[in-house]
Homo-oligomer: A and B are copies of this chain.
Amino acid sequence: MLRTHTCGELRLSNNNETITLTGWVQKSRDLGGMTFVDLRDRYGITQLAFNMDNNADLCARARKLGREFVLKVTGTVKERESKNLNMQTGEIEISVTDFDVLNESITPPFTIEENTDGGDDIRMKYRYLDLRRASVRANLQLRHKVAQQTRNFLDLQDFIEVETPVLIKSTPEGARDFVVPSRMNPGEFYALPQSPQTFKQLLMISGFDRYYQIVKCFRDEDLRADRQPEFTQIDCEMSFVEQEDILNMFEGLVKHLFKNVKGIDIESLPRMTYADAMKYYGSDKPDTRFEMKFVEVNDVVKGKDFPVFDNAELVVGICAKGCAEYTRKQLDELTDFVKRPQIGATGLVYARVNADGTIKSSVDKFYDEAALKLWAERFNAQPGDLILLLAGQADKTRKALNELRLEMGTRLGLRDKNTFSCLWVVDFPLLEFNEEDNRYFAMHHPFTSPKPEDIHLLNSFETLGQVRANAYDMVINGVEVGGGSVRIFNKDLQARMFEVLGFTAEEAQHQFGFLMDAFQYGAPPHAGIAFGFDRLCSLFGGADSIRDFIAFPKNNSGRDIMIDAPSTIDEKQLKELSIKTTV
C-alpha cells in the first residue's frame, strides 16, 4: 500500500506517529508562515501543515499544489492548535516532512464540493468527478449497505441467490424489449429481460423453494422523469406459500432494512385494499405519512341547485387542518393547481371553518350555514380548518383530488423525507380495460393468480373487470417500492388467462410454451415479489431522484453522455450481425 492510514482514520491517539497518507487536494490555504492543505480520500479529510520556518522548500512546493492533485504525503501526527470538532480528524494535523505528487490535475469543470457550481449536464458528462463529491459517494455507499442487508436477511431465511440469464427471448406483452441481434443465428434476436419473471417461476418448478436475486432489468420505454432504461430489482419467489406468508416475509425484510440501514423501528405494516386506497386516497400508492382522507359528500351536497355538484358523478373533498386563514391568493393558487391540464379539474370549491365556528364557502349562494354545518360534520372539520372539494367523473376526480391532497401535504410540511409510512395495498384487480385496444390487459402480469373465489368471474366478459387478484404492492411514503402476486401454477388456468388476454392458443404456446409445458410436471404453489432497488435506495437516502443512487445513470434520451453511448457501429459489425440500419 502506498499509504499507512486513510484520510479518515487518524486521531489524537496517533499523536507523534509517523504516517503516510494518499489522496486528493481538496483545498489549500496559504497563511504566510504556514500553508494548510486539506487532503481527501473516500474515508475523510485530513489537514496537512507546512511550516515555512521548518522547511521553506517543501512549503514552497506545497503552495503550488492545485485542486485535485493526487499526493502521497509523509509526516508526523500532531495535535492541532485550533481543533475542528466537526471533522472526525479535526483534533490533529500532519506536520509534513515530504510529499510526492502522484498525479496532477487540470482545473475541474466544477467544484468538488457539496454545493457544487456544476449544473446537471456538466456533472453527468464528468460523472467521475461528480462521484468524488461526498454526498454522491454516500448515496452509493448507502446502496451497497441496502444490498448487503437485503442479502443478509434473505440468506438467513434460506433464500438462494440464483443468476438468471440476460440474453433471453422477446415477448411482445408488456413494455418494449431491448433486443440483441444474434450473429450465430442470423435474423434472430435475443431480448434483455424486463424481469426474471418466468425464470424465477421455473426455479420454483425446479424445487428451489426460495429464490432471490439483485438483478439488472431493462425496459425500452420513453423515459419519463426518473426512469432509467436499465434498473435494478430485488427479485424474490417462494414455494408452498400463500399471500399471507409473502406479506409477512417481506414485511420482515423491510423492517430489517429500516432497522439496519436507517436505525428506525417500523411497526407492522397496515394493509389496505385497492378499493379503499382508491376511495380514500384516489391512488393505489397513497402517501400515508399524513391522514387527510377523502370524504365523499354526494348525499349532503346534491339537490341544492348547484349544477356543478348536481351534475357530478362524485363530489369528494379533503379537510386541510388549520388552513382556514388561507388568503385569496393562496386559494387561487390551489385552484390553478387543480385546473392544470395534467390534473384536469374544472374548479375548486372551498369552505373555511372560522375561529368562531361560522363557515364561509365559495358557494354560499347555494349552501346556507346549516348546509355547510353538515359539510363540516362530515369532514370532522374544526374551527380553523379548510374544506376543499372537487366534483366530476368519479375516477378522474379522485385522481385530481389525490394530487391536491399531496400538494396540501407538502404545503403543510406533512411529507418529511425522514418520516416513513409503509403499508401493503392488496386485492388489486386482475385485469385492466384498455379503451384504445378494446381489450383487457393484466394489471400485474399474465401469471398473476385470480382470487380463488373470483375465478368464476373469468367466464364472462362482463365480469372480467371485477376479478380480484392475489396481488400486492408495498407502498412507502406514496411510492410503490415493491409489488408481486401469488402465481398461477395450473396449466389450464394459465391457458384461460392467456385467452382472456387475447392470446390465441398458438401465440401463447409460441411465447410461453416452455412455461406452460413446465406446469405439467408438478408445479408447486408459489408466489413472489420484486422491489425497485434504485427507488428503495433513493427513499432511504431521502431523495426524490433515483439518478443520484446509480453510479453511471443515463439521461432522459437514454444516453450516457460521459461515454457517449449509444453510438454508431461499423459496417463490418452490422454485416456480421446480418442487419442493416434504415436511417
Chain A interface residues (CB < 8 Å from chain B): 1-3, 22-24, 40-43, 68-70, 72, 102-106, 108, 126-129, 131-132, 137, 140-141, 143-144, 147-148, 151, 155, 160-170, 172, 176-192, 198-199, 202-203, 205-210, 216, 218, 220, 222-223, 229-230, 232, 239-242, 245, 489-490, 513-514, 518-525, 550-552, 554, 557-560, 562-570, 573, 575-583
Contacts and interface: CB of A to CB of B under 8 A. Distances in A.
A577 B166 contact: no
Contact of A2 (B181, B191, B525): B525
B579 A579 contact: yes
A151 B557 CA distance: 34
A79 to B, nearest CB: 26
B216 A552 contact: no
A490 B103 contact: yes
Contacts of A70: 522-524
B551 A164 contact: yes
A509 to B, nearest CB: 11
| Protomer copies | 2
A522 to B, nearest CB: 4
A184 B582 contact: no
Given A1-B240, A129-B521, A575-B582, 7 more contacts: A42-B209, A43-B209, A103-B490, A128-B521, A131-B203, A132-B206, A199-B552
Contacts of A551: 162-165, 199, 203
Contacts of A205: 128
A114 to B, nearest CB: 15
A330 to B, nearest CB: 41
A564 B169 CA distance: 7
A400 to B, nearest CB: 31
Contact of A245 (B1, B151, B186): B1
21 contacts: A3-B240, A22-B239, A22-B524, A41-B209, A103-B522, A103-B523, A106-B521, A108-B521, A127-B202, A128-B206, A167-B178, A169-B563, A179-B569, A180-B566, A184-B223, A185-B557, A186-B581, A186-B582, A187-B581, A188-B567, A514-B563
A164 B230 CA distance: 11
B199 A566 contact: no
Given A105-B521, A524-B102, A551-B163, A184 B216 contact: no
